[in-house]
């Protein structure tokens, strides 16, 4: 009788963090070493229809490639504590995870060159509220503003400070306020977001000049920034800061939010909703609405309410369970 010989290969698996995602390759860091990894075809995220199964910030299990030095195969995505997700630009029925496992989100805002709208700010804040991610609103390029501009910035800051959002004005170009920002970032994984041209790469370079990330000037003809970051990427900075530089975002489409809970992600609404006459008040035309009363009394910002109404009419953000539901009480 001939006995068959079987060779058992013991795979070496490791836990690493995704630092960059290009859609087909993932740069994974393990023990101060980087590996270019592909994903096993069978990996899928349950209940998430996304264009990218793996995002920067994900903790993953991967196997080192025995044939190719510095390469590997991702076999498992470990549970996320949170993530920032938005509607995909090219595929309207799908969403895109910008980053995951975030300790702090920094939204860079500019009055112009390029302008950042209230609606964009509020959409970003709602997403962060939904996934319990602390946010700092960073008003950049104050070195370019005149007295009227600075007064307007102060008015905008007062709206968000009144609902307990941290606001900091900086000049990333000249370093004004940058130390204050970096103090908040110490020992954290931080997501840096905003439109193209608001100064994300400039801010990172000011914190860690040796990175020397590419920056570009604003397009004068279109008053918009040019995309210098194509894919989200994480960088290790001083003071144990990990910062995720995300591609410039023109619009921010929300996903997977219930109509009835949307108001809960506006902190000033949530704080007052128990005083509304109806427990399921949508704050539109219902009698005895506390939110509508406070808007009239100017204790709630009209810009915030406008953003709420705009989001309420955005049919792309709602869960399938909301389809066909009646929003009236």
pLDDT reading at 157 higher than 50: yes
Shared domain for 109 and 195, answered yes or no, is yes
Measured in residues, the chain has a length of 329
Lookup result for tokens 């279109």: 222
CATH of the domain at 62: 2.40.50.140
- Structure confidence at residue 3 (pLDDT): 55
CATH of the domain at 194: 3.40.50.300
Distance CA 112, CA 207 (A): 23
Q: Indicate the burial class of 316 (C-beta count within 10 angstroms; 0-12, 13-18, 19 or more).
A: exposed
Q: What is the dihedral of CA 280, 283, 284, 286, to 10 degrees?
A: 60
Contact 28, 19 (CB under 8 A): yes
pLDDT reading at 272 higher than 60: yes
pTM of the model: 0.85
pLDDT reading at 23 higher than 80: no
Please state, for a pLDDT cut of 90, what percent of the chain lies above it: 60
**Residue scoring higher pLDDT (165 or 226):** 165
Contacts of 45 (CB under 8 A, 6+ apart): 53, 77
Last residue of a domain, which of 33, 55, 77? Answer: 77
Chain centroid offset of residue 246 CA: 8
- Residue-averaged pLDDT of the chain: 84
Mean pLDDT computed over 254-275: 89
DSSP-based helix, strand, coil % in the chain, nearest 5: 25, 25, 50
Q: Indicate the burial class of 118 (C-beta count within 10 angstroms; 0-12, 13-18, 19 or more).
A: middle
- Structure confidence at residue 87 (pLDDT): 72
Q: What is the pLDDT of residues 65-82, one digit of tens each?
A: 777 788 999 999 999 999
Shared domain for 120 and 202, answered yes or no, is yes
Q: What is the dihedral of CA 167, 168, 172, 175, to 10 degrees?
A: -170
Lookup result for tokens 């740069």: 27
Last residue of a domain, which of 77, 93, 117? Answer: 77
Widest distance between CA atoms in the chain: 94
Helical spans, DSSP H, in the chain: 118-130, 147-161, 178-185, 200-207, 267-272, 290-296, 302-312
CATH of the domain at 299: 1.10.40.50
Shared domain for 166 and 283, answered yes or no, is no
Is 63 inside any structural domain? yes
The residue among 246, 215, 196, 239 whose CA lies nearest residue 56 is 246
Between vectors from CA 138 to CA 136 and to CA 143, what angle results, nearest 5°?
160
The residue among 105, 194, 160, 129 whose CA lies nearest residue 303 is 160
pLDDT reading at 1 higher than 60: no
How many separate domains does the chain show? 3
Shared domain for 230 and 97, answered yes or no, is yes
Is 250 inside any structural domain? no
> pLDDT grade, residue 227 (50/70/90)?
very low
Shared domain for 230 and 276, answered yes or no, is no
- Structure confidence at residue 270 (pLDDT): 95
- Structure confidence at residue 207 (pLDDT): 93
Last residue of a domain, which of 56, 77, 98? Answer: 77
Q: What is the pLDDT of residues 112-146, one digit of tens each?
A: 889 999 999 999 999 999 999 999 999 999 999 99
Contact 300, 310 (CB under 8 A): no
- Structure confidence at residue 329 (pLDDT): 33
Is 329 inside any structural domain? no
**Where in the sequence is the domain holding 67, given as residue range(s)?**
13-77
Lookup result for tokens 């800061």: 241
């Amino acid at each position: 009788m001939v006995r068959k010989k079987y060779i058992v290969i013991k795979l070496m698996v490791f836990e690493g963090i995704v630092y960059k995602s290009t859609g087909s390759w993932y740069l994974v860091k393990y023990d101060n070493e980087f590996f270019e990894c592909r994903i096993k075809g069978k990996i899928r995220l349950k209940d998430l229809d996304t264009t990218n199964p793996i995002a920067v910030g994900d903790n993953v299990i991967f196997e080192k490639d025995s044939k190719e030095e510095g390469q590997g195969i991702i076999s498992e995505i470990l549970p996320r504590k949170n993530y920032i997700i938005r509607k995909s630009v090219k595929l309207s029925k799908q969403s895109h995870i910008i980053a995951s496992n975030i300790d702090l989100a920094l939204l860079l805002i500019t009055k112009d060159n390029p302008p950042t709208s209230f609606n964009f700010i509020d959409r970003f804040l709602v997403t962060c509220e939904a996934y319990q991610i602390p946010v700092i609103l960073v008003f950049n390029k104050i070195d370019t503003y005149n007295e009227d501009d600075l007064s307007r910035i102060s008015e905008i800051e007062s709206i968000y400070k009144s609902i307990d959002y941290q606001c900091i004005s900086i000049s990333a170009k000249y370093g004004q306020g940058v130390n204050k920002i970096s103090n908040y970032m110490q020992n954290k994984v931080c997501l840096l977001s905003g439109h193209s041209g608001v100064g994300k790469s400039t801010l990172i370079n000011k914190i860690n000049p040796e990175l020397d990330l590419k920056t570009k000037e604003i397009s004068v003809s279109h008053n918009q920034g040019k995309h210098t970051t194509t894919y989200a990427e994480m960088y290790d900075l001083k003071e144990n800061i990990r910062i995720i530089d995300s591609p410039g975002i023109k619009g921010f489409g929300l996903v997977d939010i219930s109509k009835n809970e949307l108001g809960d992600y506006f902190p000033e609404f949530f704080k007052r909703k128990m005083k509304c006459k109806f427990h399921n008040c949508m704050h539109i035309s219902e009698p005895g609405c506390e939110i509508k009363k406070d808007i009239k009394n100017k204790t709630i910002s009209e810009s915030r309410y406008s953003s709420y109404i705009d989001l309420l009419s955005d049919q792309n953000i709602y869960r399938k369970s909301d389809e066909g539901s009646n929003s009236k009480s």
